Amino acid sequence: MSGLVDNIRASLLGLKMPRAMEMLDHMVQRLEKGEIGAIEAIDGLLSEEFNCREDRRVGVALTTARLTPPKTLESFDFTFQPSLDRDRIMALAQLDFIKRAEVVHFLGPPGTGKSHLATALGVAAVKKGKSVYRATLAELVEAMSKAEREGRLVDKIRFYARASLLIVDEIGYLPITQGGANLFFQLVNARYEKGAMILTSNRGFAEWGEVFGDPVVATALLDRLLHHAVVVQIEGASYRLRAHADLIPEHVRANAPITPPPAPKRRGRPPRKEKQIETAG
């Protein structure tokens, strides 16, 4: 028996299965006591090794996707944000929107849980083996601007377009230059109907002309980002301050909602500047 165990241990070493090697003696002891059968022992060893590898894969993928520290839907307090339809969010967690290359918009005042939900959906996608990348809008624009100066813009956009799911956080928190708006349009255009996105913003769509500093580009962005879209509006007070809700002034708790206008119907390339289209804002 010991000789066979040594052979198994050597095989596990050659196959680079350290977790199974670690559990081998324990499984053999359970076999000898009659607690489990041979098939159960094999299943136990393989399951331990698989789970260990999966944990490592997910950990690396979350770091690469910039989704650390990870968030989950299970840890989100839906009772604090009654404006949210929990069933609708859990339906998004089935990730069908990624297959359909749709865009999910989380809109709401600062601190209401938009980034938590976006990150949690990203984590769920990683666990399902999807490629994900997350960045703030300011980070994306800065990276693309640098790449443009260095003659690497095509490669940078191709990199951002490669992920199955791109999460763009914090739209509207920092001003974007006209050049940055054009770069973001190029990225959105590269992903249009090819890759899913999740966007979070504290500004309504009617304000995007101001956010991007160019009503024409903002209209072209919305044209694509609202064509195949799911819009989730969050109302209420800061999710981060929920433990101190009694200290939040009433007028803040009753923060006005961000109401999106209808999606633009125009399709095609952005109009020329001398024929600017009036935006919803």
Q: Which of 250, 249, 200, 245 is nearest to 225 (CA)?
A: 200
Mean pLDDT score across all residues of the chain: 87
- pLDDT, one tens digit per residue, over 142-161 is 999 999 999 999 999 999 99
- pLDDT, one tens digit per residue, over 167-194 is 999 999 988 988 999 999 999 999 999 9
Give me the residue spans of the domains in the chain.
Answer: 2-64, 78-275
Query: What backbone torsions phi and psi does residue 196 show, to the nearest 5 degrees?
Result: -75, 155
pTM above 0.75, yes or no: yes
Give the containing element (helix H, strand E) for 62: helix 38-64
> 81 or 151: which carries more pLDDT confidence?
151
pLDDT at 279 (0 to 100): 39
pLDDT at 235 (0 to 100): 85
Radius of gyration of the chain (CA): 24
Q: Which of 258, 259, 189 is nearest to 220 (CA)?
A: 189
pLDDT at 133 (0 to 100): 98
Q: Which class in CATH covers the domain with range 78-275?
A: alpha beta
